[in-house]
Chains A and B, each alone.
Chain A
Amino acid sequence: MAFLIVRNERDAEEILADTALTAWRKIDALRTPEGLRSWLLTTATRLALRRRRRFQPQLVSLEAASDVPTDDRSPIDRLELREAINRLPPRMRAVIALHYVADLPTAQIAAVVGRSENTVKTQLRQARARLRVALADDPPELTAPAREEPT
């Protein structure tokens, strides 16, 4: 999930390690065992959002790009999707990750990312729309900058 937010394997691995250590150090602060998953997701997401991005370009060689696993059952072009996710602002990527990967309800996502539930719903709607536009066969040229609505 962290990889979906930071878009960099090394950063994602470091966030995984930081999350594990944070959990190890602060596990006593967890009041109920049922809250563990949500607590870990919150920790990982906040670490990912706080992380300053690395500067090294993550260029994908043509050979590597051609090795991208494809899912014949899916009509969605993985490379297109990857690029579309990269274009989303980090907080919107976090919302997408928590919704599609962690399956959290919007109220819980709001608590994790520190925004109102309405804001999360709006971001989710905008992200979906942007991903769908990007994944359409003939995506329309955007004439205005696609920026996230500030919250």
Chain B
Amino acid sequence: MNDDDVEVELRRAIRAEAYRPPMILRPESLRARLAAETASRRSSTWRAALVAALVGAVAVVVAVSVSQLPRTPSVGQPSPTDGCEVSTVVRHGSWWKEIGGPNAFFNTEPDAFHAEPNNWLLITRFQPDASPGQDIQVWADRLGPGDHVPGSYNSAMDPTNIFHGSEPAPRLPGGWYLFEQRFPVPGCWRLSAAIDGRVVGTATVSVGARISARLPVGTYMTTTAIAGEPCFAFKNEHATYEDVGRVQAWSWDQGESGDCQSRTSDVIPLTGLIVPREDSGYDLVLSVPLMSGQDHEIRVALHRSGGSLAGVALSAENAPVFFTPIPAVDPTFEPRQ
């Protein structure tokens, strides 16, 4: 076949592939979306808050409790729970943790936060869910001095899209929503969730001093690829870095399943850098070789999330990055599908 013939065949085959599954606009799908949009309109300011969070926040810290690893205590810092009667964690399934109640629950641990000028992302479950047209709010009050920091609504969440490794979040009832909440100073804070101004759930958390200067030691893999970027993993051997440090790293193209636990390319060994930032955190910098012979830089601002890691991809429009701890990167893992 000549080039033109190949092009014609390619077009025909791609079109056939595009229309392979029958796409049906289902009424129930539209109804579900309309309900979700009603919820999203409950807060008229969330869009502005989200834009502000993305533009202003070099670091959006992810408060989702994605790890079961023990938290590494910070040297020389008081325990974040000192003098603060924090809420008890209730575990559902193997990894999902919540605090609060009686009718609103926060997916976090009471010592997961540190004072931070930027917003934390907080999954909040209202049980029972708010009715369409009702307002839902989350805020934080510092106990004692009485500081009040309103949270901002981000979006409705579909719990079937929340995973830890390959384990889904438990199917708990109610409405799931993502809020952004800031804790500007350390202390004992009460989180409140309300429907139409009536408090339906509270939790007390202890917000420690900033501890992002310490990284958890271990090998961490991105749970899913950032749009347009490869999956990657790196082996962090030190909790702190005085200067730029080198780490072993690997990258591969995500598997057909869309996560990083399978692959569609070889696993490429890389050298990564851990670069201390001025604000006492660290950036992970990876250089991924391209076919052209040039390198593509991936830069992620790292943050602790519970005992694990999360981050913000500075090289990809501040997309959130979730990491999963793994024993090691096996270059022969999960063959191509």
Query: Contacts of B16 on A, CB cut-off 8 Å?
Result: 69, 71, 74, 78
In this complex, what residue of A is CB-closest to B167?
A55
| Interfacial residues of chain A within 44-71, with CB under 8 A of chain B in the complex | 49-50, 52-60, 69, 71
Where the two chains meet, the residues of B that have a C-beta atom closer than 8 Å to any C-beta of A are 1, 6-7, 9-18, 20-21, 23-26, 29-30, 33-34, 37, 161, 163, 166, 168, 223-225, 227-228, 230, 251-259, 262, 264-266, 268, 288-292, 294, 296, 336-337
27 sampled A-B residue pairs with Cβ under 8 A = A3-B20, A3-B21, A4-B17, A21-B34, A50-B227, A53-B224, A54-B257, A55-B168, A57-B337, A59-B337, A87-B264, A87-B265, A89-B228, A101-B15, A131-B10, A142-B266, A144-B289, A145-B230, A145-B252, A145-B266, A147-B230, A147-B253, A147-B288, A147-B291, A147-B296, A148-B228, A148-B290
Q: From known contacts A4-B18, A96-B14, infer whether A149 and B37 are also in contact, taking CB-CB under 8 Å.
A: no
The smallest C-beta distance from B261 to any residue of chain A, in angstroms, reads 8
- Return chain B residues, CB-CB under 8 Å to A53: 224-225, 254, 258-259
Q: Which of A57, A58, A74 contacts B13 (CB 8 A)?
A: A74
Chain A: interface residue total (CB-CB under 8 A): 57
List A residues at the B interface (Cβ < 8 Å).
1-4, 7-9, 12-14, 16-18, 20-21, 49-50, 52-60, 69, 71, 74-76, 78, 81-83, 85-87, 89-91, 96-97, 100-101, 128, 131-132, 135, 142, 144-150
User: Which partner residue on chain A sits nearest B298 by CB separation?
Assistant: A150
Q: Contact: B33 with A145, CB < 8 Å? A: no
Residue of B nearest to A59 (CB): B337
CA–CA, A132 to B20, complex, Å? 20
* Closest residue on chain A to residue B13 by CB atoms: A76
Asked if A85 and B14 make an inter-chain contact with CB atoms under 8 angstroms apart, the answer reads yes
B96 to chain A, nearest CB (A): 15
Contact B25 A16 (CB under 8 A): yes
Interface pair B289/A97, CB less than 8 Å apart? no
Per the bound structure, the CA–CA distance linking A146 and B173 in Å amounts to 43
Q: Are A12 and B21 in contact (CB under 8 A)?
A: yes
Contacts of A59 in B (CB 8 A): 257, 337
A-B complex: 3 closest residue pairs judged by Cβ atoms? A53-B258, A57-B257, A76-B13
Residue in contact with B29 in the complex, picked from A14, A55, A56, CB distance below 8 Å = A14
The answer to whether B30 and A17 have CB atoms under 8 Å apart is: yes
User: How far does the alpha carbon of A112 sit from the alpha carbon of B77 in the complex, in Å?
Assistant: 50
- Indicate whether A78 sits within 8 Å of B17 (C-beta atoms), given known contacts A20-B25, A57-B256, A145-B268: yes
Chain A residue numbers with a CB within 8 Å of B256 are 7, 57-58, 83, 86
